[in-house]
Chain A
Amino acid sequence: MALKTEEMVLNMGPQHPSTHGVLRLELQIDGEIIIDVIPHIGYLHRCFEKHCEAMTYPQVIPYTDRMDYLASMYNEFGYALAMERLMKIEVPERVEYIRVIMGELQRIASHLVALGTYGADIGAFTPFLFCFRDRERILHLFEITCGARLLYNYIWIGGLSHDLHPDFIRLTKEFIKDFRPNVKELNELLSYNRIFIERTANVGVLPIETAINYGVSGPNLRASGMKWDLRKDDPYSVYHKFDYDIPIGKGEKGKTGDCWDRYYVRVLEMDESLKIIEQAIEQIPDGDVTSAIPKRVKPPEGQIYTRVENPRGELGYFIISDGSINPARVKVRAPSFVTMQVFPELCKGFMVADVVAILGSVDIVLGEIDR
């Protein structure tokens, strides 16, 4: 006679050290094996989309910062780009270059948080602080440029709030020089560590078909082996002028699309971002960054969908204008939100400890999921 067993429901979150914010996961577990995961979101809902309707167009920008708070620059970038396309504003070349530099620095900063916290999720705390040490330098670059460290309100419709700080180029070059060995160190300390590989390889495998079916984008999709990057596939700004690769997951340590691939694609992407920044700094033209900023942002009636490659994937803005100074609708296609949907698929059959590993590897930001 078999013993009667019961499944246990375990609530992970909203206050839990590794749910990356206020996500609540309802885990159905059999011993330590996951049977089902039900994510509950909305603990950080701030009515971003509805709120925008009461704002003027420039006033939306500080709010976009607060969606994906680890990649604020890129949120502004996407919004500004959408508005410029809607209003048909020609942006000076220098602005585009600065935006690309800022965007790529932001991508590195965001990936550093992702990699660092991933290390902490797996149990290695030291890489976390090493990553934050480097991120701090990027934040300092942002701080000298626009005065804020996290929520910049820097990229405006048609331009930028400030020109680059005189020291910016020098400090960025120094940062790039110091950062490359640090990436190598991170690889030695964490990426190639056998225990880390054991924990992440072959865990939470996301097959490419599933990824496409769910609409996963960004590093998570690339880790599954698809070479899809909006910077190359739907070019915007001046990205076509630079020479860089799109790293994809190859399944070096396990199956393609496992946690290690998702982790390592981010490591490689940081390197590519460094390349872009180096080239952009060399080529950056002179000019006035505020010349194209419209005095009154009053777009013509119409609608636009613009997407950019955020550090987490495809960030889309759908803006409907009714010709007034307030947007009629701002809809955001948040990459983390889409990734969250595929998360229960990834977890089934793994262990409680793997849920943490998988959640860390898909790199969600709750501010963006809940908006």
Chain B
Amino acid sequence: MMYDWLYNLTGSEILAMFIVSLLPLFVFILPFALFAVLMERKVSAHMQDRLGPMRTGYHGILQTIADIIKLLQKEDLVPTATDKILFNLAPLLAFIGSYAAFAAIPFSGFFIGTKIDLGIIFIVGVTGLVVAGILMAGWASNNKYSLLGAMRAAAQIISYEIPTLLIILTIIMLTGTLSLYDLSEMQTAYFWNWLILGGPAVGLQKILLIPFMIMGCLIIYTSTLAEVNRTPFDIPEAESELVSGYHTEYSGMKFAMFFLAEYANMFAVSAIVAIMFFGGYQSPFGYLGNTLGWTWLVPIEQFFWFTSKGLFFVFVQMWLRWTLPRFRVDQLMAFCWKYLIPFSFVILLLVGLIALM
């Protein structure tokens, strides 16, 4: 593992831990956020017959860097009527929530922040901090639009955690593990071992599982979409109604924190879907490194597969965002309670029965 390797290299537990904990941020989240913002702009532009940013670097690849520099330079504005402490704390909390989730995500067999056994529960729990951050931001801004946005966000995220957790429960029940690493290892070798195609089960059981797994995948994808406030569930920041919801009053780097948190979250939930249903970092057709006998290539390949799966789901999120209108707040709730939750209960029940077979 990364930690052991670093421990051997540096000889210091603290240093190794420090590097391991910082790695996802610098190696992954920041570059990813930079890339994802650009990707969002490019995807939306091409879907709308435009070109998007074109002037910074080749086809505008430096656009987000320019944006970040602009945001860094901006005055750190705190409106007079705000609750100063909460106002300053909120973006941090939102960011911490989404960043901490990366600790338990296995980027490859070699590179995991921490290989805790309760990985999935840890992620679900820690992303709850984001709600607190959003609610704090909305309340502290002392702005009616922000408050409305924050209220909506809190209600929405809490409701949508139920179907997410029910599907996670199904998977836990089926596989008997909470560790994301074990979950990924279970789906090794070829793509028919992925849980979306019934996982390592064989025979009739596998065939019976497939429709439920597909349904489960759709449900968890939809509900996590709602948890990260993306269209069609972006009502907390509904641009056309609430201007931009809870981060209306934020500017400069604090706004960038929310932004970063949103994009980090996007990847985190995509990663969860990828790990739970699409084999995590496992390659769909075996590893080149194994065939050639170059074992050092395997983790790199795994990292590649993991990020490509994650990015694919991020792309689908963007695709949906630029296709769909948004729900109204009551319809959003109705959709969760009337469709997603009953469906996930049915899946939980039937998958349980199938697993008993």
Contact = CB atoms under 8 A, between A and B. Distances in A.
A150 interface: no
Contacts, number: 78
A129 B50 contact: yes
Contact of B328 (A119, A121, A354): A354
B49 A198 contact: no
A356 B239 CA distance: 11
A16 B241 CA distance: 8
A123 B324 contact: yes
Given A123-B232, A126-B48, A126-B322, A195 B327 contact: yes
B238 A126 contact: no
A225 B240 CA distance: 29
Interface in B313-357: 322-331
B139 to A, nearest CB: 14
A196 B328 contact: no
B159 to A, nearest CB: 15
Contacts of A171: none
B48 A10 contact: no
What's the interface size class on B, roughly? 20 to 34
Contacts of A120: 240
B44 interface: yes
B328 A353 contact: yes
B64 interface: no
B330 A123 contact: no
B325 A193 contact: yes
Interface string A1-25: 0000000101000001110000000
A123 B49 CA distance: 18
Given A129-B50, A199-B331, A353 B238 contact: yes
Interface residues of A, number: 30
A189 interface: yes
B124 interface: no
Contact of B324 (A32, A124, A133, A354): A124
Q: Majority SS of interface residues in chain A?
A: helix
A364 to B, nearest CB: 15
A17 B48 CA distance: 20
Contacts of A242: none
Contacts of A18: 240-241
Interface in A345-371: 351-356
A130 interface: yes
B49 A130 contact: yes
Contact of B241 (A119, A129, A190, A356): A356
Nearest to B231: A123
A32 B48 CA distance: 32
A199 B335 CA distance: 13
Contacts of A352: 148, 241-242
Given A10-B144, A129-B49, A195-B232, A122 B240 contact: yes
A125 interface: yes
Contact of B325 (A10, A32, A195): A195
B251 to A, nearest CB: 16
B249 interface: no
Contacts of B325: 119, 122-124, 190, 193, 195-196, 199
Instruction: Give the top 6 A-B pairs by smallest Cβ distance, nearest first.
Output: A123-B326, A124-B325, A122-B325, A129-B48, A18-B240, A123-B325
